[in-house]
Amino acid sequence: MSASASGPASSPTAPAALLPPLPSVATATPIIKPTDLRGILRYVPRFQGQIFVLAIDGAIVADENFGNLLVDIAVLRSLDIKVVLVHGIGHQLSELSRQRDIAISNVDGTGPTDAATLDLAIRASSRVSHAILEGLTQNSLKCAITNAVRALPIGILKGVEQQHTGRVDRIDKDFLTHLIDRDIVPIIQPIGYGPEGHSYRINSDLLAAEVGEALGASKVIYLGALAGLEIHGEIKRDLPVERLRQILKETPGAVSPVALSKALNAIRALETGVARVHLVDGRIFDGLINEIFSNEGVGTLIYANDYQQIRQARRADVRMIYNLTRAAVKREELLYRTQATIEKNIEQFYVFEIDENIIGCVTLAFYADKPQLAEVGSLYVLPFYQNRGIGRKLIEYACLRAKEKGATQVLALSTQSYSFFTSVMNFDEASPAVLPEARLKTYAESGRNPKVLLKTL
Ligand SMILES: CC(C)(COP(=O)(O)OP(=O)(O)OC[C@H]1O[C@@H](n2cnc3c(N)ncnc32)[C@H](O)[C@@H]1OP(=O)(O)O)[C@@H](O)C(=O)NCCC(=O)NCCS
């Protein structure tokens, strides 16, 4: 293990650490507005103490935006988000091969690695790790290059000896946790070490997924020279993992070849417990921060199914929904709906089930005269189950459904729980003028005078 100990990490949760980034060649005006800060701080309690694995391609370490990316990493640390860096070396390996006129057997660690390629890979790896050490030092972050990845040779695949290409045998979780707990950022090279001391080349996308699993990371973020995950020529902004799995099974050619390794390893990470995988263009100024701290994001988010317990309501659920919401109607938290009205609009209801009991619900409605707008309503969670994230999941799920159906904005009308929508779900207060004409009429007639809340998807 070699370590750089260059002074203390930034103090946790100090917004003062959100300093303007280094001058960037990628953009002219590096200004963080107070509104951006407020936006970021909304997410802080959610991410504090969590582990994010950042997988940085070699091409990004060589990019002119790398200095800004390091500042973004320092911002994450200052917000008490724990960071582990896994880096690639493809770019540097190709460069060394050209400079020294040595042919390489494989560039990304997915095919056979001959002895000459392994030698260049080790050199490329120390160059990249060194650049990261320098950059983190410049940002007052302590870091350490580790031998936490135990590797074994892959062996023979389809009759081909893979030579010095390895697979992960074991990640030394205790070692990495020990560093993280002491505010030291672990740097993991795409080289693993066999028990006999031999080095093996490992693909860094795969390694990041494995590290994410071992550490129970909440996010793996791939920072490459890609605008996001391109499917059928179009960059997807968010995608459930089942959908990606289905696409890769049915039409594998739909995923652009340059993103394939990241797509496959994203699935691997999500299948082993990582909740979110992002693909972000590491060449974009503020790309990492925007991806993490904004609703829209700038790359692609692939997410595990957090919503298994939510399903569309059926006619048989009408009585249960009616009984469920009765108490909230009495307290004027919800609008009164007869059983007949619930039944008539049953396809708008989604319910949250625990052991086949409905304990929460939400509605999602669309307007013929304003198809880009959807409305969420009748949000209710039984008191015993409140404050466990169920209300948030119901709204997130309704927003995903709305987006899938082509809506660009979601609105909610609320009399008593508007601060749930504004402070927890990032809705903004809006004027009733945003309501479609017919809805404006029922809004006025209800006499409840709810606040109008709007969220852009
Ligand atoms: C509003 C409601 C759906 C929230 O559901 P929930 O499952 O308890 O919410 P979650 O667990 O996902 O979120 C918890 C967070 O929301 C906040 N929150 C919960 N109810 C809130 C409310 N009425 N106003 C403001 N914030 C609220 C909690 O303080 C907590 O914040 P934190 O994460 O910063 O600690 C639930 O309280 C409820 O059913 N209330 C009665 C019905 C109602 O008012 N519905 C809204 C009609 S528009």
Q: What is the DSSP string of 248-261?
A: HHH-GGGB-HHHHH
CA 333 to ligand 1 center in whole angstroms: 12
The C-alpha atoms of residue 186 and residue 180 are separated, in whole angstroms, by 7
| Residue linked to tokens 């082993």 | 272
> Where does 79-190 have alpha helices with state H?
90-100, 115-138, 173-181
Residue nearest to atom 15 of ligand 1 (CA): 387
Task: Indicate whether 296 pLDDT > 60.
Answer: yes
State mean pLDDT over 382-407.
92
| Residue linked to tokens 């580790």 | 146
Question: Which pairs count as long-range contacts for 360-367, CB under 8 Å and 24+ apart, including other chains?
Answer: 360/324, 360/385, 360/390, 360/391, 360/394, 361/313, 361/321, 361/324, 361/325, 361/394, 362/394, 362/395, 362/397, 362/398, 363/398, 364/398, 364/401, 364/402, 366/402, 366/405, 366/407, 367/436, 367/438, 367/439
The candidate with the shortest Cα–Cα distance to 281, out of 27, 2, 22, 8, is 27
Task: Indicate whether 21 pLDDT > 80.
Answer: no
In the predicted model, what is the mean pLDDT of the chain?
A: 89
Task: Indicate whether 39 pLDDT > 90.
Answer: no
pLDDT of 3 reads: 34
Task: Dump pLDDT digits (tens) for 423-448.
Answer: 999 999 999 999 998 888 888 888 88
Ligand 1 atom nearest to CA at 334: 47
pLDDT of 23 reads: 37
State mean pLDDT over 79-107.
97
Task: Dump pLDDT digits (tens) for 145-156.
Answer: 999 999 999 999
Ligand 1 atom nearest to CA at 418: 24
pLDDT exceeding 90 applies to what percent of the chain? Answer: 72
β-sheet bridge partners, residue 171? 149
CA 391 to ligand 1 center in whole angstroms: 6
Q: Which CATH class is domain 2-303?
A: alpha beta
Residue nearest to atom 17 of ligand 1 (CA): 420
Joined tokens for residue 21: 């980034």
Residue 116 corresponds to which amino acid?
A
Task: Indicate whether 10 pLDDT > 80.
Answer: no
What pTM did the predictor assign? 0.68
Residue nearest to atom 21 of ligand 1 (CA): 420
Look at the alpha carbons of 114, 117, 119, 122 in this order and tell me if their dihedral is positive or negative: negative
The more confident residue out of 252 and 11 is 252
Task: Indicate whether 12 pLDDT > 60.
Answer: no
Task: Dump pLDDT digits (tens) for 110-136.
Answer: 999 999 999 999 999 999 999 999 999
CA 405 to ligand 1 center in whole angstroms: 26
Joined tokens for residue 76: 């994450």
State mean pLDDT over 218-242.
93
**Which pLDDT band, with edges at 50, 70 and 90, does 33 fall under?**
low
pLDDT of 45 reads: 80
Ligand 1 atom nearest to CA at 382: 39
pLDDT of 17 reads: 35
pLDDT of 28 reads: 37
Give residues (CB < 6 A) around ligand 1.
Answer: 328, 333-334, 379-381, 386-392, 412, 414, 416-417, 419-420, 424
From-to residues of CATH 3.40.630.30 in the chain: 310-456
Task: Indicate whether 35 pLDDT > 70.
Answer: no
| Residue linked to tokens 């209801």 | 349
CA 12 to ligand 1 center in whole angstroms: 27
Cβ-based neighbours of 404, under 8 Å, separated by 6 or more? none
pLDDT of 295 reads: 65
The C-alpha atoms of residue 78 and residue 16 are separated, in whole angstroms, by 9
Span 310-456: which CATH code?
3.40.630.30
Task: Indicate whether 321 pLDDT > 90.
Answer: yes
The more confident residue out of 5 and 67 is 67
From-to residues of CATH 3.40.1160.10 in the chain: 2-303
Task: Indicate whether 34 pLDDT > 60.
Answer: no
The C-alpha atoms of residue 304 and residue 286 are separated, in whole angstroms, by 25
Residue nearest to atom 35 of ligand 1 (CA): 387
The C-alpha atoms of residue 457 and residue 448 are separated, in whole angstroms, by 27
Phi, psi dihedral angles at 184 (to 5 degrees): -105, 130
Task: Dump pLDDT digits (tens) for 170-202.
Answer: 999 999 999 999 999 999 999 999 999 999 999
pLDDT exceeding 70 applies to what percent of the chain? Answer: 91
